[in-house]
Amino acid sequence: MHYSLGIDAGGTYTDAVLVKDSDGEIVDLNKALTTYPDPLSGIKNVIDGLNPEYLENVKLVSVSTTLSTNTILEGTGFPVALILIGDHPLEKELPTGHVLFASGGHNHNGEEVSPLDLEVIEEFALRVMDKVSAFAVSSYFSTRNPEHELKARDSILKLTGLPAVCGHELSQELGAYERAVTAFLNAQLIPITRQFVQSIIADIRKRGINAQLLMLKCDGSVVGIKDALQKPIETIFSGPAASLVGASYLSGLKTCAVVDVGGTSTDISSICMGVPDLSDEGAVVGGWKTRVRAIRMETTATGGDSHVWTVDRELFLGPRRVVPLAVAAAQYPDFLNSLKRVPMPSREDLCENIQPTKFFVRSGYPAGELSKAEAEVLGAIGEEPVSIPEIKVLIRKDLHPQTLDSLIKKRLVQAIGFTPTDALHVLGDYTAWNEEASRIGAERLARLMRMSPGEFCTAVKKRVARNMSLHLLSYILQGVPCTAVEKILDGNYPAKFKLGIPVVFLGGPVRAYREELKEFIYAEILVPEHAEVGNAVGALAGKGIKRVEILIRPASLMSPDKDFLVFAPGSRLRFDVYVEALNAATELGKKLVEDYMKDCGLSGNQVKISIEKKTISPDGWKYPPMETNLLVMGVGMRELSP
């Protein structure tokens, strides 16, 4: 009997599930806390809780994660330098301060516009190499000729030893700005994805599991682990994609909306007749528009571990994730005493980082370049949680909240605070951790809000349900202003929303929110069995899908019957006649699909390849097509075997 192992690493929990290959039955599952900065312990803990007899016969391991998405949402990614080659028109701000504009680039036919200034690129790389963890390189019209990007990448790697990402490797679409941002985000995620994948490889190899290793992509398809390491940007929404595929699998519904409530965020998506709803444009994450094909989704920084805080009797939720008080009390033996004795701050000092329930602990990440103030504060924070008053005593001066904010963004400090998870502990809806810590936290924040602890926690729970409803409706009602939806949700009109498709909820204690959700919307709300590990199930349920787009056009309209250019991912080819160009493009597309499927462990009858050809020619055109677009698509599905 063979089994498959699905693993999903979220911001709070790492989930694992074992599925029997012969009939898809879930035979075992487990949850463990995600560990920082190294996820290896969390992965080890979650696999340790699975039946070892089943593990011996695992032949496939497929993984998904929201760690990359959360990194961008929270603004805690690793520093990256961006190199823009050629005449890049800047539509908006760039996501990094380490930017170089260098001469070079090509035109729409892939011909060099100006020589590459490699010397200035090398000088820049040496100057910033100690301040960044990776480089992103984007050259003008690199989709038509990647030569300058490749030369810059190879030179940077040789000089600095740091990874460099090329824009053309991630997208074949035009749009220089979006391609540059995509390259930047990809480079930012390389260290995180590499650490996550290497942790999984290390653990399964140590256990003697000899299995094919796959990773879910953000369009709901799977990818070989080698590709995932090279293009982690394609896995940014692998967690939400896993929830979508997993919800459909667990509920048995081919058409439904899915709400996945995690620790850091809530993700909303949908599936229709078994096919994920994909975005027509590139994925947008953390406000940055990319050129990555992904599921269409609505994501909000509201989750079980979102920070609940108050200023001027106003309740705030998120956007940052913190360790819940209930969890911290279980992890740190003396934390409960620290929570009891910390003094209440004055109301005029209250802000996100100064709260009567806010503590800080070192994350374990190595410190890089720090200001004097950052170094002083970091020196006062150790492996046990400390409060703001304790930090002030240790540094012997006042503390600027912005300093703590900077250390959190640099991933050097992890915050602890009150969360929706704590509110559920107080209300008795979810009691997996230390209830006393949650109750103390609720009492302190409720006093500032002039509420009872029960009223305060009920208000938190209702706010979470309202946010879920708002973003679910915003997703479904495309084009309807969010303000209009909010007015109806908040009871300003005698009306209520009714949804025409079922809604599947995934996540730990999501059942606790069902009644609150019904106050805002009429809908068939389903929480399937094993909803708490739906993402891990989804990691296994994804298909192997590969799309290859190739463009054919004459090199010059002055002689449209000869000299044809073929633009394919990573290559630019030239042929004398159109038929040769078309045949070569078709074979190249099929080879790229087949190579991809081999990395996914799929071949032969397991893979179906289709070819779609679209041509453009003006009326009365007597020559080969002015433009030919080939879409070569492969779909692979594993065969179940007893």
Q: How confident is the model at residue 620 (pLDDT cuts 50, 70, 90)?
A: confident
Query: Is residue 87 within 8 Å of 114, Cβ to Cβ?
Result: no
Q: Indicate if 412 and 336 belong to the same structural domain.
A: yes
Q: How far apart are CA 334 and CA 354, in angstroms?
A: 21
Identify the domain boundary among 436, 456, 476: 456
Structure confidence at residue 94 (pLDDT): 67
Q: Which residues face 62 on adjacent strands? A: 6, 214
Structure confidence at residue 369 (pLDDT): 79
Q: How far apart are CA 472 and CA 485, in angstroms?
A: 10
357 domain-assigned: yes
Q: How far apart are CA 167 and CA 182, in angstroms?
A: 7
Identify the domain boundary among 397, 424, 456: 456
Tokens of 15: 């989930």
Which segments of 278-428 does DSSP mark as H helices, in order? 325-331, 335-341, 372-380, 388-395, 401-409, 420-427
Structure confidence at residue 235 (pLDDT): 59
Lowest mean pLDDT among 136-140, 164-168, 290-294: 290-294
Q: Indicate if 523 and 566 belong to the same structural domain.
A: no
Number of domains in the chain: 3
Extract the runs of DSSP E, i.e. beta strands, from 363-476: 386-387, 413-417
Element (H, E) at 579: helix 578-599
604 domain-assigned: yes
Q: How far apart are CA 573 and CA 551, in angstroms?
A: 11
| For range 83-112, the mean pLDDT | 79
Tokens of 22: 């012969």
Q: Indicate if 434 and 484 belong to the same structural domain.
A: no
430 domain-assigned: yes
Q: How far apart are CA 167 and CA 144, in angstroms?
A: 12
What are the pLDDT digits (tens) for 231-283? 665 556 666 677 788 888 889 898 999 998 877 778 888 888 777 777 766 55
Structure confidence at residue 360 (pLDDT): 95
142 domain-assigned: no
Q: Indicate if 338 and 418 belong to the same structural domain.
A: yes
| For range 552-560, the mean pLDDT | 88
Q: Indicate if 433 and 335 belong to the same structural domain.
A: yes
Confidence (pTM):
0.69
Query: Is residue 90 within 8 Å of 318, Cβ to Cβ?
Result: no
Structure confidence at residue 28 (pLDDT): 92
Q: Does residue 296 or residue 342 have the better pLDDT?
A: 342
Q: Indicate if 575 and 552 belong to the same structural domain.
A: yes
Tokens of 125: 């790389």
632 domain-assigned: yes
71 domain-assigned: no
Which is nearest to 476 in space by CA: 415, 519, 522?
522
Q: Which amino acid is at 187?
A: A
Query: In the predicted model, is pLDDT for residue 625 greater than 90?
Result: yes
Q: CA 421 → CA 320, 324, 389, distances in Å?
A: 14, 7, 25
Query: Is residue 9 within 8 Å of 36, Cβ to Cβ?
Result: no
Which segments of 207-254 does DSSP mark as H helices, in order? 225-230, 238-251
Q: How confident is the model at residue 596 (pLDDT cuts 50, 70, 90)?
A: confident
Q: How confident is the model at residue 311 (pLDDT cuts 50, 70, 90)?
A: very high
Query: Is residue 572 within 8 Å of 144, Cβ to Cβ?
Result: yes
Identify the domain boundary among 456, 477, 508: 456
Characterize 148-161 residue by residue with b for buried, 16 or more Cβ atoms within 10 angstroms of its Cβ, and e for exposed. bbbbbbebbeeebe
Q: Which residues face 4 on adjacent strands? A: 19, 60
Q: Which residues face 610 on adjacent strands? A: 633
Q: Indicate if 356 and 434 belong to the same structural domain.
A: yes
What are the pLDDT digits (tens) for 317-327? 988 889 999 99
Strand, helix or coil for residue 314: strand
Pick from 62-76, 101-115, 130-144, 420-434 the range whose average pLDDT is largest. 420-434
Tell me the pLDDT of the chain averaged across its residues: 84
592 domain-assigned: yes
Q: Indicate if 330 and 314 belong to the same structural domain.
A: yes
Query: In the predicted model, is pLDDT for residue 196 greater than 80?
Result: no
Which is nearest to 191 in space by CA: 76, 333, 108, 29?
76
Q: Indicate if 330 and 437 belong to the same structural domain.
A: yes
Q: How confident is the model at residue 68 (pLDDT cuts 50, 70, 90)?
A: low
Share of the chain above pLDDT 90, in %: 31
Tokens of 142: 């690199």
Query: Is residue 336 within 8 Å of 327, Cβ to Cβ?
Result: no
CA-based end-to-end distance of the chain:
5
Q: How confident is the model at residue 641 (pLDDT cuts 50, 70, 90)?
A: very low
Q: Which residues face 100 on adjacent strands? A: 83
Q: Indicate if 316 and 343 belong to the same structural domain.
A: yes
| For range 630-638, the mean pLDDT | 80
Q: Indicate if 513 and 552 belong to the same structural domain.
A: no
Question: Which residue's entry shows tokens 């998506």?
Answer: 269
Write out the DSSP string of 1-38.
--EEEEEEE-SSEEEEEEEETTT--EEEEEEEE--SS-
181 domain-assigned: no
Query: Is residue 323 within 8 Å of 329, Cβ to Cβ?
Result: no
DSSP 106: B
Q: Which domain holds residue 451?
A: 306-456
Extract the runs of DSSP E, i.e. beta strands, from 170-251: 212-216, 221-224
Q: Indicate if 390 and 417 belong to the same structural domain.
A: yes
